[in-house]
Structure 1
Amino acid sequence: MNETQVHVWRDLSEVPSGFGPSVVTIGNFDGVHRGHLAVLDHTVQAARAGGLRSVAITFAPHPLAVLQPERAPQPLSTPEHRLELLADTGLDAVLMLPFTPALAEWSPRRFVEEVMTGALGARAVVVGSDTRFGRRNAGDIGTLRELGAELGFTVDEVADLKAADESRRWSSTLARELIAAGDVRAATDVLGRPHRVTGVVVHGDHRGREMGFPTANLTTDSIGAVPSDGVYAGWLVRAGDDGEPGACSKHDTGERLPAAISVGTNPTFDGDERRVEAYVLGRTDLDLYGERVAVEFVEHLRPTLRFEGMESLIKQMNDDVARCREVLGVSTPA
């Protein structure tokens, strides 16, 4: 990420003295989906109109990962990817606060006084309708308006944006549900880009290489909600200059390669470990072991199947590759 264009602070102590005045927004911003983007765009435009600085406050890890780990959702993005996506909105700064048990005990007033007005010099706060903050999520829009009247900032509420069928609002929860169901195309509509899983490439069973389809196997502790078992068309994104896969944006310096992606336990070979693995179309020369990559999911092609033998499996894999090329708009080599 190019941090010369946006200030990135990973602790409150890093905010320079006298920063501001500013327009501030706050949220987990997991996935930085299209609902988030509406709030962030409002923040940026309000700041520019008033000659102020625009700042987003976010947290790492997710608060539930600290307070109730058993209920913590699978993240939609790594912290670094989230920072890149936030930077691309035109913000002047991002404050990514380490979420700790101590921070969780801060009252809404303390958070506003020490972070929003104290450190960031907030003159306006922009939030979505479901904003909660402070100890036990006691703070909401009403709290902000009360404190704003006292401390000298206004509060702008950005209305929820709805999914295409108008049945539900765009949210991280909706994106996770769609991903879990394997509907990655609908998840792309919510996120505004393909969902990705990020991890380090490790050695697998090497069966794919033996069949002519070498795959990049991601570590089981990869970051990103994993779609339901099946075969997908998508992309493998290699690390950029900073060692992180690019955000498919102006900061993206990594190579993006078309791929057929498999999620599952490989039932044909009686596997019992659920894996995410990607075959880069037409490439048998890549050495990705130990490299940090992202796998992006564009379209679900078929469910995971058990095949009776190698011949039928290889035939299906060739069909999968052809379908991937069609979905991704990648030509077949001459």
Structure 2
Amino acid sequence: MIVFRNLEEVPADFGPSVVAIGKFDGVHIGHQAVIRRMKEDAAASGARTVAVTFDRNPLAVLRPDICPDNVVDIERKLELLSDQDIDATLLLTFDKALSSRTAEEFVDEILVGALHVKTMLVGRDFRFGKGGAGSPDLLRELGAVHGFTVDVVEDVYPEGTDRRVSSTWVRELLDDGAVSEAARLLGRPVSVTGEVVHGLKRGRELGFPTANLSETVDALIPADGIYAGWLIDDGMRHPSAISVGTNPTFDDVPRRQVEAHVLGETDLDLYGHVVTVEFTQRLRGMVAFDGIDALVAQIDADVTAARSVLGLRS
């Protein structure tokens, strides 16, 4: 997948293209449905497939007081879009200048002028341009002038629910620690990737060494608690019991951290490795224990529970 980080990087002869616009935060199954339709339309016309997205949530500029955390960071979003096997992504810098462009200017300069759009894919509630004045109906009017069509993609409702898939719903589930439910909406397991760094080494002292992830990771971390899951290092998947939180028993960890104890391993050296921690199921919330013995007993029970969830022999 080609990534254009500004309009100047788009070749003058690029296109014709089928374009989908959106935040694509998390690239969940709703986004994936739009991309599938985009690929179908492009295959029928011989056009290129292009996702147009932004370097930040537009609310970060328009309403920073209500802007939510991103489900994934920008580079992870680009990786996920690349996994959808599309031709290109145009990553626009969402700033005051872009937010002040009218819908007509956006279509004329970006969609028609740069991408030579032939078909636009949008959701039914899609809005764009200054003040959100652009709508699917306006796009159809502009398409009649500029020679492109508009394909409205219906929302996706998971089986057995009456709520459409959205990044907001994914965030709510992660805030509740409901990682298996969030995975259903994402179409993949919940995971975060970061570098393994040195911690307080308390887990090793207790007999359960952990790989501690750096403060900077590429996705929204689920709620504090203990999870069963996997640590993935250089393609190797290690079954793990995962802790998220600030270690309230000792109350000496200044920030939330993700740490994974690889089941059955006590001598893995992962310092400096960039690893992925994948969450399968939440086992319990984070609590403070009355002493080391109670904590160790609970960790031992957590390891047993993680083995069971992951289908491993005790």
Shorter chain as denominator, the TM-score bin is over 0.9
Alignment partners' CA distance in 2, 1:228 and 1:314? 22
Worse overlay, 78-87 or 123-132: 78-87
DSSP 3-state at the match of 2:113: helix
Structure 1 residue 88 corresponds to structure 2 residue 69: no
Worse overlay, 23-32 or 7-16: 7-16
TM-score (structure 2 length as normaliser): 0.93
Name the structure 2 match of 1:302: 284
Alignment partners' CA distance in 1, 2:193 and 2:214? 9
Residue pair 2:76, 2:218 contacting (<8 A) in 1 also: no
DSSP 3-state at the match of 1:106: coil
CA RMSD of the aligned region, Å? 1.9
1:272 Cα offset (Å)? 5.5
Per-residue deviation, residues 130-183 of structure 1 (Å, max 9, x unmatched): 222222322221221121111111000111111333221011001100110111
Return the letter of the residue paired with 1:42.
R
Name the structure 2 match of 1:286: 268
1:331 Cα offset (Å)? 4.7
1:88 Cα offset (Å)? 2.1
1:186 to 177, 181, 185: 181
Matches for 1:135-150 after TM superposition, within 5 Å: 135-150=130-145
Matches for 1:145-184 after TM superposition, within 5 Å: 145-184=140-179
Per-residue deviation, residues 214-268 of structure 1 (Å, max 9, x unmatched): 2222333434222222101122234x6xxxxxxxxxxxxx443322111122121
DSSP 3-state at the match of 2:65: helix
Q: Which consecutive segments of 4 or more residues in structure 1 shift more than 4 A? A: none
Alignment partners' CA distance in 1, 2:227 and 2:83? 27
Q: May I ask how many residue pairs the two structures share in their alignment?
A: 313
DSSP 3-state at the match of 2:275: strand
Per-residue deviation, residues 60-112 of structure 1 (Å, max 9, x unmatched): 12222333333221211222222222122221111122222222222111111
Identical counterparts, % of pairs: 52
Alignment partners' CA distance in 2, 1:75 and 1:95? 19
DSSP 3-state at the match of 1:142: helix
Matches for 1:106-125 after TM superposition, within 5 Å: 106-125=101-120
Structure 1 residue 104 corresponds to structure 2 residue 99: yes
1:33 Cα offset (Å)? 0.4
Worse overlay, 212-221 or 122-131: 212-221
Structure 1 residue 38 corresponds to structure 2 residue 19: no
DSSP 3-state at the match of 1:55: strand
Worse overlay, 84-93 or 169-178: 84-93
Name the structure 1 match of 2:209: 214
1:102/1:292 CA distance change after superposition, 3 Å: farther
1:47 Cα offset (Å)? 0.3
Structure 1 residue 275 corresponds to structure 2 residue 220: no
Q: Structure 1: where are the runs of 5+ without partners? A: 1-5, 241-253
Q: Structure 2: where are the runs of 5+ without partners? A: none
Return the letter of the residue paired with 2:117.
A
